[in-house]
Structure 1
Amino acid sequence: MTDAYVALEGGRVVEARARAPGCTRGELVFTTAYTGYEESLTDPSYEEQVLTFSYPLIGNYGVRPERFESDRVHPRAVVARELTDDVASWLTEAEIPAIDHLDTRELVIGIREEGAMKCGIAVGEDVTAEDALAELDQCQGMSEHTDIGSQVSVDGQTSYNRDGDGPTVALIDCGAKGSIITSLIERDATVHVFPYDATEDDIAELSPDVLFISNGPGDPKNFEAAGDLVQSYAGEVPLAGICLGQQVIAEALGGDTEKMTFGHRGVNQPVRDLRTEQVVMTTQNHGYTVSEPGDLEVTQVNVNDGTPEGLDSEDLGIITRQYHPEANPGPHDTLGFFDDVLTMAKTTAPTAN
């Protein structure tokens, strides 16, 4: 018996099996990751999206809270070919609609050909296709979520490892994954996490050794406060960024960003370093990319489509990465990024041109 419906942008409705009840809407995206579903589902970068897993079975090694990247599930709904009972129970408890027993291959091909799209989902005993279409009618595009940072950021300053002997990091939380904080603490840094809309006055009292802009969901153009901080501190304090952080830093320094057709989401994205010609495998989750680097130099590119994966500036003391070096499921080829950031932070403050 059909008890779940997905209404796709354009009007097509797909039937499925209910695994966790509810009605919702969001941008339909897919990930090619076959492990790390716990990390993906708790990644704040999936806020306001409906996550489709292209791998056919999700949940085959259970649900372990110690692997979570945040304190809650962030996608608005979850789609899979088959979900185990463990994952379905977790999503039911979290009140996140979930469905399975549909052709996710067809969905993924549609997203690849037409791009990430709006969708509405209705799951439960009494729902109809019209319920899913009603959700679709209310769905906004990602760039329309102008204050999405408020949904994923800390409310106030939070500090970690105050007794650390390493550099002091001011981390701007635009939707930061917990493993970013862990990666810095493991290197003995003291990490002060600030809300996404922190001001220069908030940061000034700290006198940080490095300003770090985190990953996060949505359009980087909607994170104006973080961009203002970059403009204020560029050339004065070393800067670092991951994912959304790279995009925010590029935009603040004369560059530009654009929405991708279907983005990069998975654990097998190849990245080439333009200086060493080395290729590494990376974990990624983003729907926007840097189209113009501005004052920064493109140092790494995606092997598949040539989009910027690394931006640097020795003069300004800036290093950013579009991928996630800290990704818990792996690969761990690029964990040295955090060593590079903290080494940069220990050096003499750069001089702006």
Structure 2
Amino acid sequence: MKKILVIDNYDSFVYNLVHYLEELDCHVVVKRNDQLDIEEAEEFDKILLSPGPGIPDEAGLLKPIIEKYAATKSILGVCLGMQAIGEVFGGTLNNLDDVYHGVATKIELFVDDEYIFDGLGKEFQVGRYHSWVVDKNLPNSLQVTSYDEKGEIMSLRHKEFDVRGVQFHPESVLTPDGKKMIKNWVSHNPEGKQEKTEAKPQHEI
């Protein structure tokens, strides 16, 4: 059973993500971004960074978690979580003229080897709830994996670490393939890594 730490960035969608993970037989622990000890994340197999209001610098230990565990943990950032990944590795954010709140748009894959999107087509619908995006001028360590129809970054990954982000909400009903994406992330094991079994489970939420 995979042990997943969900960093709750004070977002109403977080328990939709938790529900998906629990349906995939994961042991899930939820911690708010300002109510955890950064060392707690050590015992988990994967870390999911939830959506949330505002910007990453206002989100407690969100960025320090990425800084500490990017090289050793599988991390998926959703919306605000992706923006935090972008900033941690040297990217910047842009405030959009148009706010997306419960808007379904098409996105197109820019790569054909992104495991989160395994089994999906080249183009698909996603649900969006955001007013910020990661600027297209990415640092060398990051790579775009999909764009929207206006050329804005909708997903990215680190070139060396198992760190990925999606700007859209896979847990939204407006993202028909969202559960498949979460399943792909949960089931992926980076080469050379074994699933940990020694960590004692936690149950507090």
The reply to whether TM is greater than 0.5 is yes
Counterpart in the other structure of 1:283: 127
C-alpha contact 1:269 1:283 (8 A) present in aligned 2: yes
Counterpart in the other structure of 2:176: 332
Give the alignment of 1:100-249 within 5 angstroms: 166-176=1-11, 177=13, 178-197=15-34, 198-204=36-42, 207-223=43-59, 225-249=61-85
Specify the code of the residue in structure 2 equivalent to 1:262.
Answer: D
Specify the code of the residue in structure 1 equivalent to 2:70.
Answer: A
Note the C-alpha offset of 1:250: 1.2
Instruction: Indicate yes or no: 2:180 matched with 1:344.
Output: no
C-alpha contact 1:246 1:320 (8 A) present in aligned 2: yes
Cα-to-partner distance string for 1:122-160 (whole Å, 9 max, x where unaligned): xxxxxxxxxxxxxxxxxxxxxxxxxxxxxxxxxxxxxxx
Match of 1:311 among 144, 151, 156: 156
Note the C-alpha offset of 1:252: 1.1
Give, in whole Å, the separation in 1 of the partners of 2:191 and 2:2.
10
Specify the code of the residue in structure 2 equivalent to 1:223.
Answer: A
- Specify whether residues 348 and 184 from structure 1 end up closer, same or farther in structure 2 by C-alpha distance, changes over 3 A only: farther
Match of 1:297 among 143, 146, 151: 143
- Specify whether residues 323 and 171 from structure 1 end up closer, same or farther in structure 2 by C-alpha distance, changes over 3 A only: same
Give the alignment's TM-score, normalised by structure 1: 0.48
- Specify whether residues 199 and 296 from structure 1 end up closer, same or farther in structure 2 by C-alpha distance, changes over 3 A only: farther
Q: Which has the higher contact order (CA 8 A, sep 6+)?
A: 2
C-alpha contact 1:236 1:349 (8 A) present in aligned 2: no
Cα-to-partner distance string for 1:210-234 (whole Å, 9 max, x where unaligned): 1111000112232252101100001
Instruction: Indicate yes or no: 2:165 matched with 1:320.
Output: yes
Cα-to-partner distance string for 1:56-84 (whole Å, 9 max, x where unaligned): xxxxxxxxxxxxxxxxxxxxxxxxxxxxx
Note the C-alpha offset of 1:282: 0.9
In structure 1, the gaps of 5 or more residues are 1-165
- Specify whether residues 228 and 282 from structure 1 end up closer, same or farther in structure 2 by C-alpha distance, changes over 3 A only: same
Counterpart in the other structure of 1:263: 99
C-alpha contact 1:238 1:344 (8 A) present in aligned 2: no
Structure of larger gyration radius: 1
Cα-to-partner distance string for 1:5-55 (whole Å, 9 max, x where unaligned): xxxxxxxxxxxxxxxxxxxxxxxxxxxxxxxxxxxxxxxxxxxxxxxxxxx
- Specify whether residues 298 and 223 from structure 1 end up closer, same or farther in structure 2 by C-alpha distance, changes over 3 A only: same
Give, in whole Å, the separation in 2 of the partners of 1:173 and 1:347.
28
Counting aligned pairs with the same residue, the percent is: 22
Give, in whole Å, the separation in 1 of the partners of 2:92 and 2:165.
15
Give, in whole Å, the separation in 1 of the partners of 2:109 and 2:178.
11
Note the C-alpha offset of 1:349: 4.1
Give, in whole Å, the separation in 1 of the partners of 2:78 and 2:86.
12
Give, in whole Å, the separation in 2 of the partners of 1:274 and 1:170.
29
Note the C-alpha offset of 1:186: 0.8
Give, in whole Å, the separation in 2 of the partners of 1:188 and 1:240.
18
Note the C-alpha offset of 1:240: 0.6
Give, in whole Å, the separation in 1 of the partners of 2:166 and 2:152.
12
C-alpha contact 2:94 2:134 (8 A) present in aligned 1: yes
Give, in whole Å, the separation in 2 of the partners of 1:284 and 1:192.
25
Note the C-alpha offset of 1:255: 1.5
Secondary structure, counterpart of 1:335 in structure 2: helix
